[in-house]
């Protein structure tokens, strides 16, 4: 089935998931929507996140997508079950895959989670982790300064290190954790700095790899793998600054990103 897979995010963070989807599923066409104009979603009220997410989904449904990937932890926490009930296509979030990866990785069952205010307040990760293993110990921390840093393209260097180091002080004090979930898809863009601050003994988990595996399983289950013979022409849409989106995308992907368009969502 040569219909595309839709991927949505509050901004550029979901590109970390999109890259892994491209790597694992090279025949599948992706249509990516990043709401860069209204990013970040983390501090926004739940109702607003739901509204903005619906607007991105409606845009993608017009593109006849065969599956939706919510590549935003805040949107996953607030809308995943709702969208699964409303849509007649498979809907994949990033929280459950990230939780599963962390449990497989942790040796001492002490896991840290960092994310936006919305994701952390939702308690979606502790619930997902404890649903799998009730004996898991979870320490979570909101890092509201990370997403604006990434959206500005400040991914490395002294400024990035200072923000990350200051933000992670409470998590570093939890010196019994051995695994840290990057509970926001923007955070892998800061992963080298986060690893430097936390130290090499801490295993860093981002959900892109596991999310792509889940997408692959669902494509097989529903027999909807693309059977195209030519490399897919992915499409990227953003609601904010095109040049900034393009710069970050080109820095993150192995080849230049084409077909970037600026769209308007809502009224």
For 6, the token pair is: 């839709």
222 annotated ligand binder: no
Q: Residue 147: what pLDDT?
A: 93
Look up 143 and say whether it is catalytic: no
14 falls within a domain: yes
Which residues lie across from 9 on neighbouring strands?
34
Asked whether residue 108 is assigned to any structural domain, the reply reads yes
Q: Which of 168, 185, 207 marks a domain boundary?
A: 207
Whether residues 170 and 112 share a domain: the answer is yes
Q: Is 176 annotated as a binding residue?
A: no
Is 68 found in the same domain as 26?
yes
239 annotated to bind ligand: no
- Pairwise CA distance, residues 193 & 71, whole Å: 22
10 is in an annotated binding site: yes
Predicted confidence (pLDDT) per residue in 138-183, tens digit = 999 999 999 999 988 898 899 999 999 999 999 998 778 999 999 9
Residue with the two structure tokens 């293993």? 133
- Asked if 238 and 225 sit in the same domain, the reply is yes
* Bridge partners of residue 193, in order along the sequence: none
Tell me the whole-structure pTM to 2 decimals: 0.91
Q: Give residue 49's domain range.
A: 5-93+209-262
Which of 7, 12, 72, 160 is an active site residue? 72
87 and 30, same structural domain?
yes
CATH number of the CATH domain containing 88: 3.40.50.1860
> Which residue among the candidates 12, 184, 202, 218 is catalytic per the annotation?
184
Answer yes or no: do 255 and 186 share one domain: no
Q: Spell 179-211 as b/e; 16+ CB within 10 A means b.
A: bbbbbbbbbbbbeebbeebbeeebbbbbbbbbb
The verdict on residue 267 lying in a domain is no
């Amino acid at each position: 089935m040569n219909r595309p897979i839709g991927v949505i995010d509050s901004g550029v963070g979901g590109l970390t998931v999109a890259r892994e989807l491209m790597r694992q599923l090279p025949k599948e066409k992706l249509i990516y929507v990043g709401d860069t104009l209204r990013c970040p979603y983390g501090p926004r009220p739940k109702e607003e996140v739901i509204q903005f997410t619906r607007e991105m989904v409606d845009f993608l449904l017009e593109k006849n997508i065969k599956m939706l990937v919510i590549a935003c932890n805040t949107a996953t926490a607030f809308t995943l079950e709702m969208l699964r009930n409303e849509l007649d296509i498979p809907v994949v979030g990033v929280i459950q895959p990230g939780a599963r990866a962390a449990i497989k990785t942790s040796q001492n069952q002490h896991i840290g989670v960092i994310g936006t205010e919305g994701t952390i307040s939702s308690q979606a990760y502790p619930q997902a982790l404890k649903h799998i293993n009730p004996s898991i110990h979870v320490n979570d921390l909101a890092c509201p300064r990370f997403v604006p840093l990434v959206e500005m393209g400040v991914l490395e260097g002294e400024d990035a290190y200072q923000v990350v180091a200051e933000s992670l002080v409470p998590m570093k004090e939890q010196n019994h954790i051995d695994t840290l979930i990057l509970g926001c898809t923007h955070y892998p863009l800061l992963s080298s700095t986060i690893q430097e601050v936390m130290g090499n003994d801490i295993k860093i988990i981002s959900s892109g790899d596991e999310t792509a595996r889940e997408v692959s399983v669902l494509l097989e289950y529903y027999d909807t793998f693309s059977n195209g013979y030519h490399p897919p022409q992915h499409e990227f849409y953003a609601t904010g600054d095109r040049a900034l989106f393009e710069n970050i995308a080109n820095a993150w992907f192995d080849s230049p990103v084409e077909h970037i368009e600026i769209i308007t969502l809502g009224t």
